Structure formats: C-alpha cells, structure tokens
C-alpha cells in the first residue's frame, strides 16, 4: 500500500533553515544528463529515457516523464575533453523542443561564418513543471 506524507515546510534536524515544499518541487531540476565525449553513452541521468546520437556534436534528449509544455528551460554545458577548441557553444534546436524531447548541437565557432559541430562531453539540466 502506498503512503502519502503531507507537509508545508521542511526544516533541518535542529529545527532551523526552513523551506517551503513548493520551493523544493518547483526549484529542483526535473531532469539532468551527463553524456560521454562520443555521444554514445549516458554516464548519469535523471528522468532521461534515451539519447540519440545524430553525428558529431549533434543529438537529442528524450525524457521519461514529459514536461507540462514545450516551454521549459534547458541549461546545457560541455567539455571538449582536451581537444583545445577555443570556443564551443551548446544550443538547443528550438524548433525541435517538445514536452518530452529536444535536439541540441555542440558547435565549435572559428569565426562569425565558420561553425562546425564538435564532439564533447555533454551536461544538461532541465527546469520547469512536469506534466
């Protein structure tokens, strides 16, 4: 039988440092991931059902539990694993963002006109309301 615990405020063991449970629920990341440099293995994750590797620095994230809408926030980061890239940028491909998935690119920027995809270790966190 499932149990339910209903509280309004959480406090530490000494009764200090209180925080409303609504802040915990709304302020916590709803998903995160850590993907290896080749983009073929999820090393650690929460609420990620799968990742697709669409080529060098190009992929997609699929959530286990959908977000409430496609208007959630994605914080992406990367590490070029010692490749010496001077500037990398991680982008969500906005027109692909849906309530349960999004595509991204890790791009090496050599100039304003020369952008090439780059393999890198990928990190991300998703914030917003779950469905």
pLDDT for the residue 83? 62
Residue 33 is encoded by which pair of tokens? 């991931």
Report the range out of 21-25, 27-31, 66-70 with the highest average pLDDT: 66-70
Element (H, E) at 21: helix 21-27
Per-residue pLDDT reduced to its tens digit, 104-124: 888 877 666 666 777 788 899
Closest CA to 121 of 46, 31, 44: 44
CB-count burial class (<10 Å; 0-12, 13-18, 19+) for 100: middle
| CA angle centred on 64, ends 60 and 69, rounded to 5° | 80
d(C-alpha 32, C-alpha 114), whole Å: 30
pLDDT for the residue 84? 62
**Predicted confidence (pLDDT) at residue 25 exceeds the cutoff of 80:** no
pLDDT for the residue 81? 62
Closest CA to 125 of 70, 54, 59, 44: 44
How high is the mean pLDDT of the chain? 85
- Residue 86: phi and psi, rounded to 5, are -75, -35
pLDDT for the residue 74? 92
Per-residue pLDDT reduced to its tens digit, 56-106: 888 899 999 999 999 999 998 888 766 665 567 788 877 889 999 999 888
Domain spans in the chain, listed from the N-terminal domain onward = 29-127
**Predicted confidence (pLDDT) at residue 30 exceeds the cutoff of 60:** yes
């Amino acid at each position: 039988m499932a149990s339910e615990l209903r509280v309004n405020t959480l406090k530490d063991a000494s009764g200090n440092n209180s925080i409303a449970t609504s802040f915990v629920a709304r302020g916590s990341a709803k998903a995160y991931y850590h993907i290896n440099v080749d983009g073929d293995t999820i090393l650690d994750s929460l609420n990620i059902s799968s990742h697709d590797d669409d080529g060098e620095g190009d992929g997609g994230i699929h959530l286990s539990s959908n977000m409430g809408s496609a208007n959630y926030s994605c914080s992406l980061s990367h590490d070029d694993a010692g490749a010496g890239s001077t500037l990398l940028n991680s982008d969500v491909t906005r027109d692909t963002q849906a309530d349960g998935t999004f595509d991204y690119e890790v791009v090496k920027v050599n100039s304003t006109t020369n952008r090439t995809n780059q393999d890198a270790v990928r990190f991300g966190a998703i914030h917003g309301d779950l469905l």
